[in-house]
Amino acid sequence: MVFDNKKVYLLLGSNLGDREQLIEEAIALINSEIGEVFAKSSVYETAAWGKEDQPSFLNVALGVETKLTPIEVLNLALKIEQELGRIRHEKWGSRLIDIDIIFYDDIVVDMGPELQVPHPQMQYRKFVLEPLAEIAADYVHPVLKITVREVLERLQDNLSVSRI
């Protein structure tokens, strides 16, 4: 079965190792295994969120065009993380690479803890919204029914996020 192309928005993060190199390698793998990257934000340096006693993160938002289903995108994202050395030790802990699905077209997916799209915490996280707004400011959140720009304008998160 062939699916129509869907737009998927991903957030990449890294706070261990050669952060910039890991993000670039992840982008190359995403482009070859998940779909064509059609948009890439600037790189943002962000303070750790959730568990603050760790190095700061680099974050990049991507727009990717894919024919894959949401679960296929998730499985390939997890495979790419593993290929780049990610080992899951603790929730919100330091990591070589993290790839989160923020949006999958305008589709809402709830497969419990395994996969939820839109990302259930994205509207509370400046480190997600700043880079995402750079490449998809007018994208309408399929649950909140407001644009990414509007979500960012209403945000209460004061976390340090700066374009580098």
Annotated catalytic sites, by residue? 86, 95, 98, 100
Q: How is residue 17 annotated by DSSP?
A: S
For the four alpha carbons of 109, 111, 115 and 116, in that order, the dihedral sign comes to positive
Q: Is 119 in a helix, a strand, or coil?
A: coil
- Decide: residue 127, CB within 10 A, 0-12 exposed, 13-18 middle, 19+ buried: buried
Residues 6+ apart with CB under 8 A from 161: 44, 45, 46, 47, 59, 126, 127, 130
Residues 6+ apart with CB under 8 A from 127: 11, 13, 44, 46, 49, 57, 59, 159, 161
